[in-house]
Amino acid sequence: MMKRFENKVVVITGGSDGIGLATAKLFAIEGAHVTITGRRRELLDEAVKEIGHGAVGVQGDVANPADVARLYEMIQRDHQRVDVVFANAGRYEVVPLDAIDDAHFDAIFDVNVKGMVFTVQKALPLMATGSAIVLNGSIAGSKGLPGQSLYNASKAAVRSFARSWTNDLKERGIRVNVVSPGGTETRLIRSYLDSQPEVEAALKQSVPLGRLGEPDEVARAVLFLASSESSFVAGHELFVDGGVAAV
């Protein structure tokens, strides 16, 4: 059976863990040449082994444009093109309004906003008609979740990027869409919820489907948005949240 991403070159930022890692695995199974990034070498190396299929890991921080440029220099050397970018790397912090300082602002916006811009911008010289960009947003970009206004605003920016970049890139035939997860059962979230059982109960109660999502469920949505199956979908935000944003 033909694989949807046979010989496609796929770049995933923040691919060492969670949604990024789950997505990298599915792309690799579907025949893609997968390159992931991550800040921590040990975790990155473990992820590359877990993905298999010749996946490559490039250590770097998307908040540093030089690291992003180095990533695409390696892709150009090895593959001469990029077919899919999943701009997944992100940072989450709960910071109440009266506690926000410069360090909090820079930590969130450098990764979630600046990092997103340069991850996409520096890929464009390697992308051709039919390529796809998927941005990792969040339902937080559409909700006024308390105590995390910086994070909410950074994800609202991601949603705005998809709208603007769809128009910017339409003449080049490059599609841009957003996948927006709700609460998802990643390792980091699980470690937090294990220490806050009342938070987990409240979170599940807020979800119409009554549970957290799984990273694979988000990953399958990413592959749909990156594939020819969504060839007439552009500038769209696909919520993968058990119904939270819609109901």
Q: What is the pLDDT of residue 203?
A: 86
CA distance 121 to 2: 31
* Contact yes or no for 91/59 (Cβ under 8 A): no
Tell me: the pLDDT tens digits for 82-133?
Answer: 999 999 999 998 899 999 999 999 999 999 999 999 999 999 999 999 999 9
Q: What local confidence, expressed as pLDDT, does residue 192 receive?
A: 76
Supply the residues annotated as catalytic. 151
Kindly tell me the burial class for residue 107, based on how many C-beta atoms sit within 10 Å of its own C-beta (0-12, 13-18, 19 or more).
Answer: middle
- For residue 219, what are the CA distances in angstroms to 1, 110, 156, 189, 214? 21, 24, 21, 17, 9
- Burial profile 139-164: b = 16 or more Cβ within 10 angstroms, e = fewer: bbbbbeeeebebbbbbbbbbbebbee
Average pLDDT for 229-244: 97
> If you ran DSSP here, which 8-state letter would residue 114 be given?
I
Residue with the two structure tokens 């559409």:
142
Amino acid (1-letter code) at residue 196 = Q
Give the span between the Cα atoms of 209 and 52, in whole angstroms.
33
Task: Tell me the pLDDT tens digit for each residue of 175-202.
Answer: 999 999 999 998 878 877 888 778 888 8
- The per-residue pLDDT for 245 is 92
Q: Are 181 and 218 in contact (CB under 8 A)?
A: yes
d(C-alpha 130, C-alpha 172), whole Å? 8
Quote the distance between the C-alpha of residue 168 and its chain's center.
20
Residue 1: per-residue pLDDT: 65
CA distance linking residue 20 with residue 136, whole number of Å: 9
In percent, how much of the chain has pLDDT > 70? 100
**pLDDT on residue 201:** 87
pTM to 2 decimals?
0.95
Q: What is the pLDDT at residue 188?
A: 79
Tokens of 87: 């701009």
Judge contact between 36 and 58, C-beta under 8 A.
yes
* DSSP codes, 34-65: EEEEES-HHHHHHHHHHH-TT-EEEE--TTSH
115, amino acid identity: G
- Rounded Cα distance between 51 and 16, Å, is 10
Backbone angles phi, psi at 239, to 5 degrees: -80, 130
User: Which CATH superfamily does the domain covering 9-186+215-239 fall into?
Assistant: NAD(P)-binding Rossmann-like Domain (3.40.50.720)
**Dist. CA 90–CA 116, nearest whole Å:** 9
Percentage above 90 pLDDT, the chain: 88
